[in-house]
Every structure is written in C-alpha cells, then in structure tokens.
Amino acid sequence: MKEKSTNKLKIFFAKCLYAVVKHFPLSDGRMSFGAKRLRRFCARLALPHCGENVNIEHGARFAWDLRVGDNSGVGVNSLISSNVTIGRDVMMGPDCMIFTSNHGMSDFSVPMWRQKSTKPRPVVICDDVWIGARVIILPGVRVGTGSVIGAGSVVTKDVEPYSIVGGNPAKKIGSRIKEKVE
C-alpha cells in the first residue's frame, strides 16, 4: 500500500514538473523567483535518482527514469530519452538531445513510419563532462569522465575519458591530458 502511494506522489510531482514548473523562467534570470529550486524540488521527488544541487532548466523534457548526479544540469529546452544516466558535475548547454532508440528501417515491405523502434541502448554520461549547445548523442554511447563535446556535435560512438570531441560525426580533436615533456 505504501509503495502505491509513493508512486502516485512521484507521478504527481512529475506532472507538476512537466505541466507547470518547466515553464518557469530561466534559472539564472533576473526574474527567476526561485524557479531553479522549485524545479529541483519536483525533480528530486519524481526521478529515481536526482543528486544534490541539480539544475533542471526551463523547457527541459526527459523520461522519468533519468538518473542525474550531484551538481549536474539538464540544459534549456533539452530532450532526453528513457534509459539515460548523467554523472556528477556535468554541464549541459541548451537544446541538447540524447536518444536511446531509433526508428526501424530494415523491412523494405513496410514504410519506415510503421516499423517498430529499435531496441533501446542506454546512454551514460560519466562525471565532469561538458556538453556544448545543440549536441546530439545517439543510442548506446558512453561519454567518458572529464570529456568535452563541442557545440553542434553529433556523437555516434563512445568518447574516451578526458577527450575533446567535435563535429558531425564527432571525432577526437584534442585531449585535456597534457603529455609529459622530457
């Protein structure tokens, strides 16, 4: 009985977050009126894991199984599919999209729009990652600790820890680890 009431409460706060709170002003705007705190409060009650000091920005849309670590943020107007884990200390720019499945297209006898979606493949964003504005991350990708993804990139493969990637498709363009000079 207690579990049933807990689920109803989670659903209530999830609906509040989607229906009302997501439309509150930007977190750091002059007229925010505590919007950041209210979105965080609802997210902590609605999500299976929502760490300390999490910032869910204005207009963000995400599945209710999203897991977010301490000091991380979901960018303005971002879209995050089901089965995504965001680690600690992750910065996300506006308009990012993270997908975990795709449209089916293997059966030529059926129009693509009528085919079932592909099997979901989880996306993991490790700790201390910076995701630039308008980044798209595709199904099954793991973004390694300490990585930077340049604005507008389309990430189709795993990103090594401490890498700097950019482009479409995203490729390694640098490293945050400096080589030892002898």
Query: Catalytic residue positions?
Result: 103
Q: Kindly state the tokens that stand for 36.
A: 């950041």
Cβ contacts of 23-31, under 8 Å, gap ≥ 24: 23/58, 23/59, 24/58, 25/58, 26/57, 26/58, 26/76, 27/55, 27/57, 27/58
| Cα–Cα dist 81/54, whole Å | 18
Which residues lie below 8 Å from residue 41, measured CB to CB, with a gap of 6+? none
Counting Cα atoms < 13 Å in the Cβ hemisphere of 112 gives 6
Q: Kindly state the tokens that stand for 120.
A: 């979901």
Instruction: Identify which of 151, 155, 19 has the alpha carbon closest to the alpha carbon of residue 75.
Output: 151
